[in-house]
Chains A and B, each alone.
Chain A
Amino acid sequence: MSSFNIFDIAGSGMRAQSLRLNLTASNLANAESVSGNAQGVYRPREPVFAALLERETGNDTAARVQVLGVIESNAAPQMRYDPGHPLADEKGYIYLPNVNVVEQMANMISASRSYQNNVEILNTAKQLLLATLRIGQ
C-alpha cells in the first residue's frame, strides 16, 4: 500500500535528524574533554546523509534518507599550555577537541527544525489516511 510510504519516508528523515541531534549533543558534551596526547583527543562527529531510491519496488519517485555513516573531523586538536594539569604532557600541554560551539548550535537548531517538519508531515499523512478510512460514511 503506497500511502504508508509516507510513514517510512518521514520516519527515515526523523531517524536521520535524531542521529544528527545525538551527534551534536555528543560534540557539545565533549567540547571540554581534555586529553594528554593529540591521538586520544575527542574528534567532532558528523553524519553523512544520502537519498535512497527504491528501484526494487518500482516506486523510484520518492526517496528515503539513508545514513551512510558517521565521519570524524580531522581538524587538528587545540593545544593549551597548562603545566599544572594532571594530564599535561612533558612540555606542559593539554589537548582539547576542535569543537566549534557556534557551529554545533546552528547544527542543532537545523536538525530540530527538520525533525519538526517530518513530524508535521507524519501527522498530516495520518489525518489524511484516517479521513480516507471514513470515506462514504
Chain B
Amino acid sequence: MPFNIDKALGIFPQALSLHARRAEMLAANLANADTPNYKARDIDFKAALQSALQSNQSMASQAGAGGMKRTQVGHIGIDSDMEAMGLVRYRVPNQSSLDGNTVNAEVEQAEFTRNAIQYQAALTFLGGRIKTMMSAIRGD
C-alpha cells in the first residue's frame, strides 16, 4: 500500500493556511476600524475548509492526468480566489455608524483571538502527526 504524506497529515495543513488567511482578514478589519465606508469581512470557515479539501482531492487525482495549473502571473487562480467562490462574507453590524463603517473592534478582537488559538491548536496537531511519522521512521 503506497504511503501518502498528505493523508497522514490530515486536514491540518489546509486548516492552518485558512486560519492564516482569516487572521489576515481580521487584522485588516481592525486596521480599518476608523476608515469611513469600510465594511468588515470574514471567511465562512466551514465552507472554505470543505472547498479547500475538495480542491486538494481533485488536484491530487488530476496531478497524474495533467490537471489545470497556474503557470503565468496573469492566469486567473483556480484555488485561491475565495472571494469569487462566495466564501468571503460581509459581517452584519450590530449597531450602525454614521460614517458607513461596520467594524466592531470588540467583535473583531474576540474573533482574532479565537482564530489565533485555533491556529495554534491546528499547529499542535500537525506537529503531533509529524512526530508520529518521525518515530515510525526512526523505529526507536
Contact = CB atoms under 8 A, between A and B. Distances in A.
A38 interface: no
Contacts of B25: 61-62
A131 interface: yes
B34 A49 contact: yes
B83 interface: yes
A2 B24 contact: yes
B119 A9 contact: no
B87 to A, nearest CB: 9
A114 B35 CA distance: 11
A97 B134 CA distance: 70
A51 B123 contact: no
Interface string B74-103: 000100111100001000000000000000
Interface stretch (A28-36, A76-84, A86-94, A115-123): A115-123
A50 B126 contact: no
Contacts of B127: 135-137
Q: Give the interface SS of chain A, mostly helix, strand, loop or mixed.
A: helix
Given A49-B35, A65-B32, A5 B116 contact: no
A51 B38 contact: yes
Contacts, number: 106
A137 to B, nearest CB: 7
B30 A117 contact: yes
Interface in B23-44: 23-28, 30-36, 38, 41
Count class of interface residues, chain A: 35 or more
Interface of B: 16, 20-21, 23-28, 30-36, 38, 41, 77, 80-83, 88, 105, 109, 112-113, 116, 119-120, 123, 126-127, 130-131, 134
23 contacts: A2-B21, A2-B24, A6-B24, A6-B27, A13-B30, A49-B32, A49-B36, A50-B35, A58-B80, A60-B83, A61-B41, A62-B24, A65-B32, A114-B33, A117-B109, A124-B113, A125-B27, A128-B116, A128-B119, A128-B120, A131-B120, A135-B130, A136-B131
Given A121-B27, A124-B116, 7 more contacts: A13-B32, A51-B35, A63-B28, A114-B105, A135-B126, A135-B130, A137-B127
Interface of A: 2-3, 5-6, 9-10, 12-13, 16-17, 20, 49-51, 58-65, 110-111, 113-114, 117-118, 120-121, 124-125, 127-128, 131-132, 135-137
